[in-house]
Amino acid sequence: MSRIRIHLPDGRIVEYPAGISLAEVAADLGLDALAAKMDGKQVDLSTRVERDCQVEFLDFSHPEGRSIYWHSSTHLMAQAVKELFPEAKLAIGPPIEDGFYYDFDIGRPFEPQDLERIEARMRELAQKDQVIERVEIPREEAYQLLASQGEKYKLELLAEIPDEKVSFYRQDGFIDMCRGPHIPRTGLIKAIKLLSTSGAYWRGDERREMLQRIYGITFPTQEELDLFLQRLEEAKKRDHRRLGRELDLFSIHEEVGPGLVLWHPKGALVRRIIEAFISEELERRGYQFVYTPHVARVRLWEISGHMSWYRENMYSGMEVDEQEYLVKPMNCPFHIMIYRSQTRSYRDLPMRLAEFGTVYRYERPGVLHGLLRVRGLTQDDAHIFCRPDQIEEEVSSLIDLAFFILGAFGFRDYHIDLSVRDPEEMERFAGSPQIWDMAERALEEVLRARGLAYQRAVGEANFYGPKIDIHLRDAIGRMWQMTTIQLDFNLPERFDLTYMGADGREHRPVMIHRAIVGSLERFLGILIEHYAGAFPTWLAPEQVRVLPITDRHLDYARQVLSRLQREGLRATVDETSERISYKVRQAQIERIPYMLVVGDREQQQGQVAVRSRSEGDLGPMDLGVFLARIKEEIEKRV
């Protein structure tokens, strides 16, 4: 019998008889796996290995393992729904960042008691430890099966699958069309909680049928579920939409349009502080700031490829002088045109162009979510034009920049993805396989040279190039995708960008797209929830509030305020006639970092009674001592 060699992520090479299943390999290696990646492609553990390959086993601690686990949980939920509501029609059931959902058509909304019944049935089915089996069915047979079940939504999806054979997954008497992969058995799903239900238009289109969506979460242990539910309650308390309203930071109005943010003075101030901090750092690192229009002729977007690859996300613009203009979804073509405005020499590179550029992208109504998912967004955008020999240094310096800026906002727990193309779906990506190989290799070499741990995210690249994505963990353990560094050989080709080399000949530059905090809207939403609205002193829109005990202390309070403002602090005086206890409580509710109480004793001694938002009463203090304390805190961005 022939033997095959399996290359493992830790560098080991193990040999087995050809035809062995990945489940048998995992068992032999003592691994508690849910699925695997074979040569970069996710597969079931039932997959048999017939040739030499690279294999990475996925468990629940791995992001892709969790995603597969939750995808299998959607099938378990769909099975429970079909058993309890046989008339239900199945739509889609993907995993999401924290759990999963499935959309059903049952002709009415689900009631709370329905969710209780479904959850109980899911537990019963899980305890049966049903084998989850992949089956491939000829296309016509798949059509007949779905038609006989009346699954009209699945039939619509089937019509878009070009393959001659279609994959389904079966557990006991339930079968669902799905690409997979899935976990081996339902018994691996131990702790189950259905979280909520809501209406959802089929395919996110408000002109289509209204379906009923059930959100759920599952874990291998009850302890993990309990911890998640605690975190969920904490997240509700930190909801940026509620805090944004209470702290008067921003608002979104139907009259203006969904997904379009109005920044109130306090929110705008926080945003300006962030922009100023980033701008100062970028200028120190050799960036030049530019401004670009909000619209451009269609021709620009045709050259860039957005009309072919991104059109569904773009807004129609207007017709001017018999020419169609579109609202910009990205800033990169404008920066390219600035580069093209004159001949560039190898001595001019790298050329780093930065812009806080506002762009507009269509998002379906069902996915809009406060500041976290909007239609009008301002990116901390930059594009670097460099020589091929400068790629490693530029990408490495961008990683340093990301760690510095994100660290200043209190984020130091990161996860890195290398987002690459899916070789089996090259129709989704612009450019030749050779260009993609070169770009992906360049980014991977930087990560390896720096010794940074990362995961390859197959199929997650942008249409024009691969990217490094840096995800950060917030105060309650949630991961957010933040920095993106994208290497692009395609757009310089499409726009025929060149520079004059030291040899006197024209050469093609490389383009790096990068955003450190992403959109300012989303970043502010994340910051509000990370800090529960209590911004650190350097970032707070109001850093100090002076609280006179009675009206006769107002003059002294104003003198204190004047000194604070001369020293560059953002401060106010509470001039209301409320009791001091009320003033303190109100300042605490508004998350003011410091309160300076002034009464007879403070006025006579030229002091202030300092109260910290986080530490409570700090006692009387000379104003100069307080100023030294707060300035040090601001300077260190504590």
CATH number, domain at 25?
3.10.20.30
Structure tokens at 139: 């296309």
Residue 46 included in any domain: yes
- Parallel, antiparallel, or unpaired: how do β-strands 174-177 and 41-43 relate? unpaired
Q: Which helix (H) or strand (E) holds 266?
A: helix 265-284
Q: What pLDDT shows up at residue 438? A: 83
Q: What pLDDT shows up at residue 205? A: 80
Catalytic center residues: 332, 361, 379, 381, 383, 467, 513
Cα–Cα distances (Å) from 467 to 9, 104, 357, 421, in that order, read 21, 35, 20, 10
Q: To 10 degrees, what angle do helices 433-450 and 391-408 make?
A: 60
Q: Which helix (H) or strand (E) holds 277?
A: helix 265-284
Beta carbons of 55 and 25 less than 8 angstroms apart: yes
Distance (Å, rounded) from C-alpha 606 to C-alpha 620? 10
Q: Which of 516, 492, 485 is nearest to 431 (CA)?
A: 492
For the chain, the 3-state helix, strand and coil shares in percent, each to the nearest 5, are: 40, 30, 30
Residue 241 included in any domain: no
Are 170 and 27 in a shared domain? no
Q: To 10 degrees, what angle do helices 112-127 and 63-84 make?
A: 110
Q: What pLDDT shows up at residue 92? A: 95
For residue 601, give the CATH number of its domain. 3.40.50.800
**Quick one: how far is CA 221 from the chain centroid?**
26
Please give the tally of structural domains in the chain.
Answer: 4
Are 348 and 374 in a shared domain? yes
Structure tokens at 161: 């699958």
Between CA 478 and CA 486, with CA 480 as vertex, the angle to 5 degrees is 155
For residue 322, give the CATH number of its domain. 3.30.930.10
Q: Which helix (H) or strand (E) holds 233?
A: helix 222-237
Q: Which segments of 412-475 does DSSP mark as H helices, in order? A: 433-450
Distance (Å, rounded) from C-alpha 255 to C-alpha 253? 5
Q: What pLDDT shows up at residue 203? A: 87
Residue 83 included in any domain: yes
Q: Where are the beta strands (DSSP E) in 340-454?
A: 351-360, 376-386, 414-420
- Segments in the chain below pLDDT 50: none
Q: What pLDDT shows up at residue 426? A: 67
Range of the domain at 180: 70-226
Are 441 and 568 in a shared domain? no
Are 458 and 326 in a shared domain? yes
Structure tokens at 550: 């009675």
Residue 237 included in any domain: no
Are 53 and 152 in a shared domain? no
Are 468 and 571 in a shared domain? no
Q: What pLDDT shows up at residue 251? A: 97
Residues forming a β-bridge with 455: 417
Residue 231 included in any domain: no
End-to-end CA gap in the chain: 65
Distance (Å, rounded) from C-alpha 290 to C-alpha 632? 33
Are 295 and 217 in a shared domain? no
pTM of the model: 0.81
Q: Which of 197, 173, 172, 194 is nearest to 118 (CA)?
A: 194
Q: Is 10 left (phi over 0), alpha (psi -120 to 50) or beta?
A: alpha
Are 617 and 588 in a shared domain? yes
Structure tokens at 196: 């909520």
Are 484 and 613 in a shared domain? no
Are 169 and 254 in a shared domain? no
Are 80 and 55 in a shared domain? no
> Under 8 Å CB-to-CB from 168, ≥6 apart: which residues?
134, 135, 136, 137, 142, 175, 176, 177, 178
- DSSP result, 559-589: HHHHHHHHTT--EEE--S-S-HHHHHHHHHH
Distance (Å, rounded) from C-alpha 494 to C-alpha 333? 11
Q: Is 277 exposed, middle or buried (0-12, 13-18, 19+ CB in 10 A)?
A: middle
Residue 65 included in any domain: no
For residue 151, give the CATH number of its domain. 3.30.980.10
Residue where a domain stops, chosen among 178, 197, 226: 226
Residue where a domain stops, chosen among 507, 530, 553: 530
128-166 CB burial, b ≥16 within 10 A, e <16: eebebebeebeeeebbebbeeeebebbeebbeeeeeeeb
**Quick one: how far is CA 433 from the chain centroid?**
27
Distance (Å, rounded) from C-alpha 599 to C-alpha 543? 20
Q: Which tens digit of pLDDT belongs to each residue from 287-319?
A: 999 999 999 999 999 999 888 878 888 888 788
Residue 188 included in any domain: yes
Are 476 and 377 in a shared domain? yes
Q: Which of 95, 96, 98, 92 is nearest to 78 (CA)?
A: 92
